[in-house]
Amino acid sequence: MLRALYWSKLEVILLRVLNLRGPVFCRPEIVSVIVVVPIGITRTHTMPKVRRSTKPPPEGWDLIEPTLEELDKKMREAEAEPHEGKRKVEALWPIFKLHHQKSRFIYDLYYKRQAISKDLFDYCIKEKIADQNLVAKWKKSGFENLCCLRCIQTRDTNFGTNCICRVPKTKMQDERVIQCIHCGCKGCSG
């Protein structure tokens, strides 16, 4: 593992010998051998492709694949969308919305309409096409319309309670429009 080590005298000598400027990464595997890599060398990084399992998808995949491809395309557009002029949290709202939409699509096909097989549903969960934890919450009573898992985590709020979007509209004091700070939800409790 490469670590940044700042050896003042040795570093100065190496910099002079190699005619480099700035700190270097040193890897002392053996005391007498030091591998030096200058920090200034950069290379372009590309996003690695999502690894899918080597076995082919189950029967029925060709029916849901176009919709999933369309949602993936929208996700890439949302990720590439400029975020100037938006608050820090607002930049992630479209991504949360599309993540919810993709998981809900798989959930509805399996549990509501029984249109896909258990093998295909398990494949989508295993390949992380649908969020396993979110789908598990949707099966529980009171969480059928949950927007995201962050809204029920009490550690993210000031007073250790759920998010404001989990409060039913009938319990709200006035008719004001509320919006979750985590995902932009306007009320998912019903």
Nearest CA to 21 out of 1, 48, 41, 4 is that of 41
Distance CA 190, CA 166 (A): 8
CA angle (163, 128, 50) in 5-degree steps: 120
Chain segment 75-103, per-residue pLDDT in tens: 999 999 998 999 988 999 999 999 999 99
State residue 190's pLDDT score.
67
29, 91 contact by CB (below 8 A)? no
Task: Give percent above pLDDT 90 in the chain.
Answer: 46
Domain ranges of the chain: 8-38, 61-139, 143-190
Q: pLDDT band for position 179 (50/70/90)?
A: confident
With a CB cutoff of 8 Å and minimum separation 6, the contacts of 95 are: 75, 78, 79
Chain segment 9-65, per-residue pLDDT in tens: 545 555 565 555 555 455 444 334 444 445 554 455 566 666 667 788 999 999 999
Q: Which two tokens stand for residue 106?
A: 């798989």
Task: Give percent above pLDDT 70 in the chain.
Answer: 72
Chain segment 107-152, per-residue pLDDT in tens: 999 999 999 999 999 999 999 999 999 999 999 998 999 999 988 8
Question: Quick check: pTM over 0.85?
Answer: no
Distance CA 185, CA 92 (A): 12
Q: Does 168 or 42 have the greater pLDDT score?
A: 168
The dihedrals phi and psi of 69, each to the nearest 5 degrees, come to: -65, -40
Question: Most distant CA pair in the chain: distance in Å?
Answer: 74
Distance CA 147, CA 124 (A): 19
Torsion angle (degrees, nearest 10) of CA 105, 107, 110, 114: -70
Place of tokens 């607002």: 90
